[in-house]
């Protein structure tokens, strides 16, 4: 994950906060909070991480004949 190390760190910080709120049920407007969290994750580089995972998976598949 080196190419997306910074994005993963940013997303981890967002998710740590979100987990606490979502697991405790302390957010009265759950749907709005999830949407806002998704927007934050997107801004933190979610698509870049997804693209890198797909790239690495494709490379692995080529090497391993999958």
Tell me: the pLDDT tens digits for 16-64?
Answer: 999 999 899 899 999 999 999 999 999 999 999 999 999 999 999 999 9
Report the alpha-carbon distance of residue 24 to residue 19 in Å, rounded.
8
22 in Cβ contact with 33 (< 8 Å): yes
Tokens 């697991």 belong to residue: 23
Task: Read off the pLDDT of each residue in 10-21 and give the average, rounded to a whole number.
Answer: 95
């Amino acid at each position: 994950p080196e190419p997306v190390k910074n994005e993963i760190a940013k997303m981890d910080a967002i998710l740590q906060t979100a987990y606490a709120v979502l697991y405790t049920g302390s957010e009265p407007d759950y749907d709005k909070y999830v949407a806002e969290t998704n927007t934050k994750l997107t801004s933190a580089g979610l698509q870049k991480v997804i693209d890198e995972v797909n790239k690495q998976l494709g490379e692995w598949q080529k090497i391993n004949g999958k």
